[in-house]
């Protein structure tokens, strides 16, 4: 099955805290890409971070990093020093067949001042 699962519909944390969003996925491939996208209230989907499966090193973009566990098919997003502007829906995604980016159902993250 071509599924991406996000088991946390909603989360909230205090500003400046660290939060981790979870994602698991199905695949029979050995090399593939994984993505986290952010959708703020403005509706514009924005790429947060990308991971290539054959790379053992976890991707990092400033305050955003991933914990990629290939054997477990797990791809969690860690946000450090969270800021009010991080409030958004976060979607995990991976391509199937090189053409169709399949998304999880999302996690609504609220940063509390």
Partner 1 sequence: GAGVSQSPSNKVTEKGKDVELRCDPISGHTALYWYRQSLGQGLEFLIYFQGNSAPDKSGLPSDRFSAERTGGSVSTLTIQRTQQEDSAVYLCASSRRGTGANVLTFGAGSRLTVL
Chain residues 6-35 in contact with partner 1, contact rule CB under 8 A:
32-33, 35
Residue 47 contacts partner 1 per CB under 8 A: yes
The strand pair at 19-21 and 74-79 is best described as antiparallel
Residue 98 contacts partner 1 per CB under 8 A: yes
The strand pair at 64-69 and 74-79 is best described as antiparallel
Owner of token pair 């159902």: 105
Among 30, 62, 100, 113, binds partner 1 (CB under 8 A): 100
Among 28, 30, 44, 56, binds partner 1 (CB under 8 A): 44
97 Cβ contact partners less than 8 Å away, ≥ 6 residues apart: none
Residue 75 contacts partner 1 per CB under 8 A: no
Q: What are phi and psi of 112, to 5 degrees?
A: -95, 130
Residue 64 contacts partner 1 per CB under 8 A: no
Residue 46 contacts partner 1 per CB under 8 A: yes
**What is the C-alpha to C-alpha distance for residues 31 and 109, in angstroms, rounded to an integer?**
29
Residue 103 contacts partner 1 per CB under 8 A: yes
The strand pair at 4-5 and 24-25 is best described as antiparallel
Q: Which residue ranges make up the site for partner 1 (CB under 8 A)?
A: 32-33, 35, 37, 42-47, 50, 52, 91, 95, 97-106
């Amino acid at each position: 099955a071509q599924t991406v699962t996000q088991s946390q519909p909603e989360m909230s944390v205090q500003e400046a805290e660290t939060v981790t969003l979870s994602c698991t996925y199905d695949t029979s491939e050995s090399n593939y890409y994984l993505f986290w996208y952010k959708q703020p209230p403005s509706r514009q989907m924005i790429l947060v971070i990308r991971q290539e499966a054959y790379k053992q090193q976890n991707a990092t973009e400033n305050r955003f990093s991933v914990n990629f566990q290939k054997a477990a098919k797990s791809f969690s997003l860690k946000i450090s020093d969270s800021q009010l502007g991080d409030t958004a829906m976060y979607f995990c995604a991976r391509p199937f067949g090189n053409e169709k980016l399949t998304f999880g159902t999302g996690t609504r993250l609220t940063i509390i001042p």
